[in-house]
Amino acid sequence: MGESAYTLIIATSAFVGLVAGFFMHRSDFCVTAMFRDVFLVRDFFLLRMLLLLIVASMLLFEFSRLGGLLSPYPFPLLGPGSLATLIAGALFGVGMVLAGGCVVGTLYKLGAGSVVALVAFAGLLTGSALYAEWHPWWSDFARATTPHEAITLPQLVGIEPVFLILPLAVVGAVVLYRWQLRGLLVRKAYARGHIAPWQTALVLVVLGFVSWFLIGMPLGITTSYAKIGAGIESLFLPDRVQALAYFQVQGLNYTPPFADTPVQGGAGPQLDAVAAIQYPLIGGIVLGAAVSAVSVGEWRLRYRIPARQYASALIGGLLVGAAARMVPGCNIWHLWGGVPILAIQSMLFLVGLVPGAWIGSRLLSRFVIR
Amino acid sequence: MMKSDNQIVLDINGQICPSCLLLTLKELNRVGAAVRDGSTEIVVLTDDRQATSTIPEAVDKMGYTTEVSGSPAGYRIRVFARR
């Protein structure tokens, strides 16, 4: 692949990350809160924002696919669903609530100066790298519990995606319209420079499209967490990293939309296509959130937090990091990218995530927040 | 937590949601009757942006009133009786 194609990938990822980080910080667009607050305080507001994001993505992705703008389709790294996905989704749900943020929530909070988010981030890297220790038997388990090789629901039932996606999107749009009439898509906000979450949801839809159109896949970052973790581990235990099969696998192998030759990448510490796609996205989200926080005069180190919340963030981060590799894939990958195209793995992840978030909420209110 | 004659100051700067909201609700559970009859009010000091939306909405459903203003460290959310 030529240098210019890599330049396009890196520039796109950095831009998408910067914009996403800025908007997520301004709206406090926390995916963890979308699920957690339903169970903790019966607050469905942010969950409605997720539905808006999914429905709008369904429409934009599907019409773009029909227009020949999205390739490859389905995007790379999506696998078939399995029992392993369901279990790992539940673990992810528990972890994200304990961590106080998901894989991107942690980043934008970190960018705004949250030290507890930094602790969760350290847990994410560690958990992601630790997964390599049990990858062989977990992948065997995933294979053994995969009922069908289809990637998406339309593939499974053997019909054109538009015949499933469009009716579901219309139903979702009607529900959203009714909520809008009842004023349920907005709420009062007093934070400086606040951007309404519905606006951020739509910005994220466009960013997902931009990423898929220019890079060949929507937003996702957690393979890089394993990669960074492997890089750190290789400083101390290089032989161990070399010996672990997970770090040798080149799971990503595809031809980006504006490239002539395929690219490869994996969770190992080397700089490859995964690093080119995801490192700038991670850096962009952190920087975008920092710019947002500085511009409203709110960037400061926030560390005055009870010790049990730090412990919770670390444990939650470890769980999320490991679970994201076990799924495989994180919440933004599946909820913002996979669910809108009815990817089976993504829908199973969501089914697991909900009870996981419930368990996490129970643990949080029982042991962490006092 | 600082207390004055008729004001309870809940300084939770540094903490993020959901702890901001849950700690406020916990305090309301404790002194809700006094807040409701107007003999006291709760002032939450927070630097969490999300809390400026979640706390007013939650306590409004419970029948209280809120007033949000900026403070040097972040935000000041006053919770008091609905009149």
User: What is the Cα–Cα distance from B48 to B15, expressed in whole angstroms?
Assistant: 7
What pLDDT sits at residue A1? Answer: 52
- Please answer yes or no on whether B25 and A305 come within 8 Å at the CB atom: no
Contact A300, A31 (CB under 8 A): no
Q: What is the residue whose two structure tokens read 């076990």?
A: A326
Half-sphere exposure of A224 (CA within 13 A, CB side): 20
- Please answer yes or no on whether A33 and B17 come within 8 Å at the CB atom: yes
What pLDDT sits at residue A281? Answer: 98
Domain ranges of chain A: 3-368
Contact A98, A312 (CB under 8 A): yes
Angle between helices A31-41 and A344-363 (to 10 degrees): 50
Domains for chain B: give ranges and CATH numbers: 2-81 (3.30.110.40)
Beta strands in A59-142 (DSSP E): none
What pLDDT sits at residue A2? Answer: 61
Enter the tokens of residue A16: 């998408």
Question: Helix (H, G, I), strand (E, B), or coil: what is residue A200?
Answer: helix
Partner B, chain A 188-247, Cβ-Cβ below 8 Å: 188-192, 194
Q: CA dihedral defined by A196, A200, A201, A205, rounded to 10 degrees? A: 150
A162 Cα to chain B: minimum distance (Å): 37
> What is this model's ipTM?
0.88
- The stretches in chain B having pLDDT less than 50 are 1-4
Pairing of strands B2-3, A263-265: unpaired
User: What is the Cα–Cα distance from A295 to A255, expressed in whole angstroms?
Assistant: 39
B23 contact residues in A (CB cutoff 8 A): 369
Give the DSSP H or E segment for A9: helix A3-27
For chain A (length 370 residues), average pLDDT per consecutive 10?
Answer: 81 98 97 95 95 98 97 94 98 96 94 95 97 97 96 97 98 98 94 97 98 97 95 96 96 93 94 96 98 95 92 97 96 97 98 98 91
Question: Helix (H, G, I), strand (E, B), or coil: what is residue B78?
Answer: strand
For chain A, report the end-to-end CA distance as a whole number of angstroms: 54
Question: Helix (H, G, I), strand (E, B), or coil: what is residue B74?
Answer: strand
- Please answer yes or no on whether B17 and A116 come within 8 Å at the CB atom: no
What pLDDT sits at residue A335? Answer: 97
- Please answer yes or no on whether A190 and B68 come within 8 Å at the CB atom: yes
Give the DSSP H or E segment for A218: none
Query: Burial level of A215, CB count in 10 A (0-12/13-18/19+)?
Result: buried
Enter the tokens of residue A74: 């389905």
User: What is the Cα–Cα distance from A350 to A254, expressed in whole angstroms?
Assistant: 26
What pLDDT sits at residue B72? Answer: 81
- Please answer yes or no on whether B53 and A364 come within 8 Å at the CB atom: no
The string over A57-76, giving b where at least 16 C-beta atoms fall within 10 Å of a residue's C-beta and e elsewhere, is: bbbbbbeebeeeebeebbbb
Q: Is A102 on the interface with B (CB under 8 A)?
A: no
Of A95, A50, A59, the closest CA to residue A324 belongs to A95
Residue A4 burial (CB count, 10 A):
10
Q: Identify the closest residue of chain B to A297 by CA–CA distance.
A: B74
Phi first, then psi: what are they for A235, rounded to 5°? Answer: -70, -30
Phi first, then psi: what are they for A194, rounded to 5°? Answer: -60, 140
Beta bridge partners of A114: A302
